[in-house]
Amino acid sequence: MIRSTTNERQKTHGEPDLTSSIPNEILSSIISYLPIDEAVRSSILSKRWVPLWKHASHLDFDVTRMLKSIFIQAIEEKAQNYNDLVHDVLRHHCGDLTSCRFEHFTHNLALGDVGGWIEYVKEKNKSLNSLTLECVNSILDLNNQYLKSNFQPGVFSTFYSLQMANYVLDSSILAAFKNCENLKILKLKKINLHSETMNDILKNCLGLEKFSLIQSSVFGILKIKNPSLKCLELKWLTLNGVNVYVEDLQVVVIDSLICPVKGLKIYSQNLMTFYSSYDPIVKNISARKMCLKTQEIFENCSDIIVSSSHSSFTFNIYLNIFFPILMLYCWWY
């Protein structure tokens, strides 16, 4: 079945052409929310739509979508084909990017493809301030040579926001975080690294205001002393210890944290909101038992209790008592 175009429907049924009154800038902004394969595909709608995706302010490269028709190729060939596709799209894009997301293979990381993409978009787009990097199948290859990061020194220094997922990081990543005083938001998800590497990364991000560490394994004691930090999120983590010394920290979110009872230390004189919870429906029962409970945190983290004198301080104990019971009830019935 072939759908009629807007112009054909207008001629046949007298329907108004609403899209024709929308400025190209707004249409390009709407297209920015689409994965890049769908954004490019929108150019077949009409001649007017052909150049719109090239002016999108955000590009989202999803490797699983862009190579979904390729099944039999070796991973090396897929990585090379994907690199060619990304470069082709970047060459044709002529707008001003403000954000970009690159999902990639481990081979693209080792061969320097990812670093090349970042340098290319940075050179063409001076207003680029947000970057998301996600590596596929990396956690499955902990000893794989392709996991070595291959970024230029200071490559992240110009970004306001940076998100990374599915990486195994060693000390080689530190050069990429050199001079990152402008970085305000850092979100790391499904990351494996040593605490010394994590601590050194945070030392290079002195202007950091929000730090999120999710579903990651950090070997050793995590030390957070960033003076500008306002919000800290620690979710679904296995840690040997956490030492937080941030005087102006305002929000702390802890969710399903596996850590020694006396291993969590938080010091902040201006803490306003403290949220602590754990998922009551955890497949691994032993892991659920090991998660820090709110009572344990308050009993062993005296600095939080001292901060409770702040007039705006909020304890979200409700979410740790009533909500888990409600969730268990709904799950059971």
Categorize the per-residue pLDDT at 139 as very low, low, confident or very high, splitting at 50, 70 and 90.
very low
pLDDT per residue as tens digits for the range 181-237? 999 999 999 999 999 999 999 999 999 999 999 999 899 999 999 999 999 999 999
Helix axes of 75-92 and 113-124: crossing angle, nearest 10 degrees: 10
Least confident interval from 18-27, 83-92, 151-160, 196-205: 18-27
Instruction: Grade residue 166 by pLDDT with cuts at 50, 70 and 90.
Output: very high
Contacts of 95 (CB under 8 A, 6+ apart): 28, 54, 55, 56, 57
Q: What's the pLDDT tens digit per position in 287-330? A: 555 788 887 887 777 566 555 444 445 545 444 444 454 444 44
Residues in the chain: 333
Contact 266, 303 (CB under 8 A): yes
Beta bridge partners of 167: 191
Confidence of residue 3 (pLDDT cuts 50, 70, 90): very low
CA distances from 210 to 36, 103, 111, 179, 309 (A): 28, 23, 31, 17, 24
In this prediction, residue 280 carries a pLDDT of 64
Confidence of residue 51 (pLDDT cuts 50, 70, 90): confident
pLDDT at 103: 94
Which two three-digit tokens encode residue 164?
């990374």
User: Smallest Cα–Cα separation from 222: which of 191, 195, 252?
Assistant: 195
The answer to whether residues 15 and 9 touch, using CB atoms and an 8 Å cutoff, is yes
**Which DSSP symbol is given to 272?**
-
Check residue 199 and give its pLDDT. 96
Contact 246, 265 (CB under 8 A): no
3-state secondary structure of 303: helix
Residue 331 clears pLDDT 90, i.e. is over it? no
In eight-state DSSP terms, residue 291 is B
Contact yes or no for 224/234 (Cβ under 8 A): no
Between residues 43 and 186, the one the model is more confident about: 186
Kindly indicate the confidence band of residue 73, based on its pLDDT and cuts at 50, 70 and 90: low
Report the pLDDT value the prediction gives residue 162, as an integer from 0 to 100.
98
* C-beta of residue 112 within 8 angstroms of C-beta of residue 79: no
Cβ neighbours of residue 155 under 8 Å, at least 6 residues apart?
Answer: 115, 118, 119, 122, 176
Around Cβ 258, how many Cβ atoms within 10 Å? 19
Domains and CATH numbers, the chain: 31-208 (3.80.10), 239-333 (no CATH)
| pLDDT at 10 exceeding the cut of 90 | no
Instruction: Round the average pLDDT of the chain to a whole number and report it.
Output: 80
pLDDT one-digit tens code per residue, 229-282? 999 999 999 899 999 999 999 999 999 898 888 889 999 888 899 998 876 655
Please check whether residue 100 is in contact with residue 116, taking contact to mean a CB–CB distance below 8 angstroms: no
pLDDT at 68 exceeding the cut of 80: no
